[in-house]
Amino acid sequence: MRPEDRDYDESREERKARKARERAVKRKILMIISTIVIVLAVIIVLVLVVLLKGRIDAENNQIDSEAVTSLSMTYVGEKTVFDSSDENVTSASSADSSNSAEDLGPVPTIDTSTLSSPDVYMIRVKDNAQVIDQNGTARIYPASMTKIMTVLVAIENIDDLSATYTFDGTEFNTAYAQGAATAGFEAGETVPILDILYGIMLPSGADACYAICNYVSGSEADFVTLMNQKAQEIGMTATNFANATGLQDENHYSTCQDMAKLLEYAVKNETFQTIFSTHIYTTKATSVHSAGIALSSTTFVNLASSTLDNGTTIIGGKTGYTDEAGHCLASLAADANGVEYILVTAGAAGDANATPHITDAETVYSQLPSA
């Protein structure tokens, strides 16, 4: 074979080998591209499945929430409107509890023999089970427990709690002349409505009550009309309010059972429960009080600790006292397992500085189940 023919054959073989290598590379590239496309397709399918499942779950949750009309809430200002008249609706604060009604166990047995209060009513909030009924339907004077309704009606009828009210001095002067407790707001002081609500609930300020009455209704009489309308809506059939402060009036009365209904309803409102459970609050600075006013809860200031030895925590309370009413207290507590209870006591004897109502609450709550 001639050298030139041999060179020609080798060159042809090299071209064939090169083309074979190129075809092999192309096949690998195609395989890689195909694999990538398949992986991307699988990912897209998985994402679509997850999105579709999420949408289905959301629609199912919406249907479920619409079905539970007894717990549905809408707001006017921060008014809680319930679509069911069922008195056994549980409080919003306990709605997220992991304890179902079946998990609660038997109703606790409470010894009331050492209590100073002659009138006592207590419920377990989750299932509305009656724990104590000692003269629960007897007529009482609610004294400053009244202010639970005052604060609730204000919250439900005021759209913007950051709005302000300017005191003209008559609020404090009227309260002082009546010998009522005051929060300390003075003439010429412009105060946020929210601060005034704390002034009603924590130190039981009558001056703050009069300010709220003026702001919402223009007068205490018209505000009291709203209070009585709310009482009827809640089902407080043995209650009549004659004022917004709880000062003694023969036509201003309730029962421990009715006050428990009121508190059970009120704590469903988030703003109310926040105020109700606050120990100490300082109001915004004003031209009169440059550092604000430090307000202390009349309930917590008399408690050695809000958490008792058995693990029960007293969440909030509203005290009351007049000579005719005696000492009274409406309170909310949770035992060591997070199960909530409402306790209302009334009629305990003692002078204005005594605290038999606080002692009674500690005695009752210390008997709740521990963890």
290-343 per-position pLDDT tens digit: 999 999 999 999 999 999 999 999 999 999 999 999 999 999 999 999 999 999
**Structural domain includes residue 91:** no
Q: Rounded to whole angstroms, how far apart are CA atoms 342 and 368?
A: 12
235-276 per-position pLDDT tens digit: 999 999 999 999 999 999 999 999 999 999 999 999 999 999
**Structural domain includes residue 298:** yes
Output the six-digit token pair for 276.
């109700």
**Structural domain includes residue 221:** no
191-233 per-position pLDDT tens digit: 999 999 999 999 999 999 999 999 999 999 999 999 999 999 9
Q: Which candidate, 157, 230, 235, places its Cα nearest to that of 197?
A: 157
**Structural domain includes residue 197:** no
Q: Rounded to whole angstroms, how far apart are CA atoms 331 and 316?
A: 6
Q: What is the pLDDT of residue 49?
A: 62
Overall domain count for the chain: 1
200 Cβ contact partners less than 8 Å away, ≥ 6 residues apart: 147, 150, 151, 154, 183, 208, 209, 212
**Structural domain includes residue 273:** yes
**Structural domain includes residue 67:** no
DSSP state of 180: -
164 Cβ contact partners less than 8 Å away, ≥ 6 residues apart: 190, 191, 192, 193
Q: Both ends of the chain: CA-CA distance in Å? A: 104
**C-alpha to C-alpha distances, 150 to 54, 104, 208, nearest whole angstrom:** 44, 33, 10
Locus of tokens 């809408």:
74
Taking each helix axis from N to C end, the angle separating 147-157 and 256-266, rounded to the nearest 10 degrees, works out to 30
Q: Rounded to whole angstroms, how far apart are CA atoms 268 and 90?
A: 8
CB 322 within 8 A of CB 247: yes
Q: Cα torsion for 257, 262, 268, 271, to the nearest 10°?
A: -140
CB 125 within 8 A of CB 342: yes
Catalytic residues: 144, 147, 204
Q: What's the CATH code of the domain at 348?
A: 3.40.710.10
Report pTM.
Answer: 0.74
Which residues form the domain of 351? 99-156+227-365
Q: Read off the amino acid at residue 60.
A: N
**Structural domain includes residue 81:** no
Q: What is the CA radius of gyration of the chain?
A: 34
Q: What is the pLDDT of residue 15?
A: 65
Q: What is the pLDDT of residue 20?
A: 67
Q: Rounded to whole angstroms, how far apart are CA atoms 25 and 23?
A: 5
**Structural domain includes residue 281:** yes
Output the six-digit token pair for 247.
């000062």
